[in-house]
Amino acid sequence: MILFQDLANEAQVGEVISEEKTLSVIDLILSGGTGSIVIISVLFAMLAVALYIYFERLLAIKAASTIDKNFMNQIRDHVMNGKLEAAKILCAQTDSPVARLTEKGVSRIGKPLDDINAAIENAGTLEVYKLEKNVNILATVAGAAPMIGFLGTVIGMILAFHQMASSGGQAEMGALASGIYTAMTTTVAGLVVGIIAYVGYNHLVNRTDKVIHKMEANAVEFLDLLNEPV
């Protein structure tokens, strides 16, 4: 009987300890005071913006990289047969940077190759600008989020030591440790947001570079087509 009572008491103590150690993320944020709540709210807003830009640009880049493999073969046939209007219609019906660059080159056929090349390069610059739209915001978030998180930690540390100074050095260590522990959550939040934004930025840059390479390859192929003997 005594053994069962001891086991029951240990179970109750274990539950109490478990309840004391359990702390939800929301409770951790709310217990950090107004400064912590404001800073973490700003970080969550930055995370939402970063995720929106990442997925919006990812879909746009994916659409830009999709093109029919027979597109340039059809353009070659139209140009070699002198069907420039048919080539322009095909480019207009194909929604991709490669098609728009090719259309710019087709519209310049008959002019010097230098003029055609310059027109394609100018159009390519505009297409690259469209692909990279708002991507720099991800880089800004990746750099700013950790610093904002560290700012929250520094503010929390200042408040903790201010409490110690105000109490004449008699402040309870539990209160100081709790304040410092909560202040560190801003650092964690800032690092998480920064890492997500950094990874997303580099992934978009990599995908964009592939599209740019495809644009350059098709531009060279088109110029080589114009240099072929009739």
Of the candidates 79, 123, 87, 129, the residue with the CA atom closest to the CA atom of residue 104: 123
Three-state DSSP at 44 gives helix
Element (H, E) at 40: helix 33-65
Chain segment 77-122, per-residue pLDDT in tens: 888 888 888 888 888 888 888 888 888 888 888 788 888 888 888 8
Residue 66 is classified by DSSP as -
- pLDDT surpasses 80 at 69: no
> In whole angstroms, what is the distance from residue 86 CA to residue 92 CA?
10
Residue 34 tokens read as 């107004």
For position 16, what pLDDT does the model report? 40
pTM value? Answer: 0.75
In whole numbers, what is the pLDDT of the chain averaged over residues? Answer: 78
DSSP 72-138: HHHHHHHHHTT-HHHHHHHHHHS-SHHHHHHHHHHHTBTB-HHHHHHHHHHHHHHHHHHHTTTHHHH
Residue 228 is classified by DSSP as S
Chain segment 119-133, per-residue pLDDT in tens: 888 888 888 888 888
Contacts of 36 (CB under 8 A, 6+ apart): 29, 152, 156, 182, 183, 185, 186
- pLDDT surpasses 70 at 140: yes
Model confidence at 11, in pLDDT bands (50, 70, 90)? very low
